[in-house]
Amino acid sequence: MTHSFISSKPIPVNERLIMALDLPSIEEAQALVIALGDSVVFYKVGMEIFMCGDYFGFIEWLKQQGKKVFVDLKFFDVPATVGRAIAALSHKGVDLATIHGNDAIMEAAAANKGDLKVLAVTALTSLDRGDLNDLGFDCDVRDLVLSRAKRALAIGCDGIVSSGLEVQMLREALDHKLLVITPGVRPVDNREEDDQKRVVSVESAFQNGADYIVVGRPIRDAQDPRAMAQTIQSQIAQQFLAH
């Protein structure tokens, strides 16, 4: 095995799996949380749930179930607006939240985050080289991710969201100074029709240095979601047994 950059941060192993609740209704999301029981502690709630109704009521419900919450709304607006939004969110009992945008946006978020941990998005895992060309980013994906990570660290963000393909590079350049949350993780070979283009396995994500992984469809769409979550938790635990 190549050199391991496995996380040394004091994060309970069973909290390193973040389940993405990308579902069309709050009722379905609640049913899935109940079905998963203690197999998942940390949940990501994003735009799909945001459009379903009482988003903050649902967050409060998750907290009542003893869960941790990652708000993935990728705040992107005038810096003062983002700052006020992050300040308001910091009083909602949320653990992690994503922002997007330039230095001024990151600065506004970092200045207003309180105990909330703010994560800067680097490059979405649904984007490949061709997509970045279309968006006008005339640079290598790895260069873009590293540049954004360095800026986030300098400005005072707590972490970043990054594909597992770039995490090892980030650890080599920045050590373990930032939290790294890795989406697009697949517990088995990714053979299905999938809009995530830059994916990695559970093992690769953690060996490359991820602190958390985000998994959605492989759990949600499994014949037995709880069993799939438990399988992934076992895969995660195996990565930390020797550390």
pLDDT per residue as tens digits for the range 14-44: 999 999 999 999 999 999 999 999 999 999 9
Tell me what pLDDT residue 195 has: 46
Tell me what pLDDT residue 3 has: 65
Tell me what pLDDT residue 144 has: 79
CA separation for the pair 124, 128 (Å, rounded): 9
Does an H or E element contain 229, and which?
A: helix 225-240
Angle at 84 between CA 81 and CA 85, to 5 degrees: 85
Determine whether 44 is an active site residue: no
Nearest to 212 by CA among 189, 191, 239, 173: 239
CA separation for the pair 227, 10 (Å, rounded): 26
- Whether the predicted pLDDT of 191 surpasses 50: no
The 3-class secondary structure across 139-178, one letter per residue, is CCHHHHHHHHHHHHHHHCCCEEECCHHHHHHHHHHHCCCC
- Whether the predicted pLDDT of 188 surpasses 90: no
- Arithmetic mean of pLDDT, 148-155: 92
Tell me what pLDDT residue 185 has: 85
Tell me what pLDDT residue 213 has: 96
The 3-class secondary structure across 17-66, one letter per residue, is EEEECCCCCHHHHHHHHHHHHHHCCEEEEEHHHHCCCCHHHHHHHHHHCC
3-state secondary structure at position 179: strand
3-state secondary structure at position 181: strand
What are 12's two structure tokens?
Answer: 């309970």
Nearest to 106 by CA among 162, 151, 46, 44: 151
Q: Tell me the whole-structure pTM to 2 decimals.
A: 0.89
CA separation for the pair 173, 150 (Å, rounded): 9
Angle at 10 between CA 37 and CA 88, to 5 degrees: 70
Amino acid at 6: I
Percent of the chain with pLDDT over 90: 74
Tell me what pLDDT residue 163 has: 83
Q: How many residues comprise the chain?
A: 243
- Arithmetic mean of pLDDT, 139-157: 85
228 or 129: whose pLDDT is higher? 228
Question: Which architecture characterizes domain 13-240 according to CATH?
Answer: Alpha-Beta Barrel (3.20)
Which of 44, 67, 68, 74 is labelled catalytic? Answer: 74
- Whether the predicted pLDDT of 129 surpasses 90: no
Nearest to 237 by CA among 42, 44, 12, 8: 12
CA distances for 86 relative to 31, 113, 118, 123, 240, angstroms: 29, 6, 9, 21, 33
Domain ranges for the chain, please list them: 13-240
Q: Tell how far CA 50 is from the center of its chain.
A: 17
> What is the DSSP secondary structure assignment for residue 96, as one 8-state letter?
E
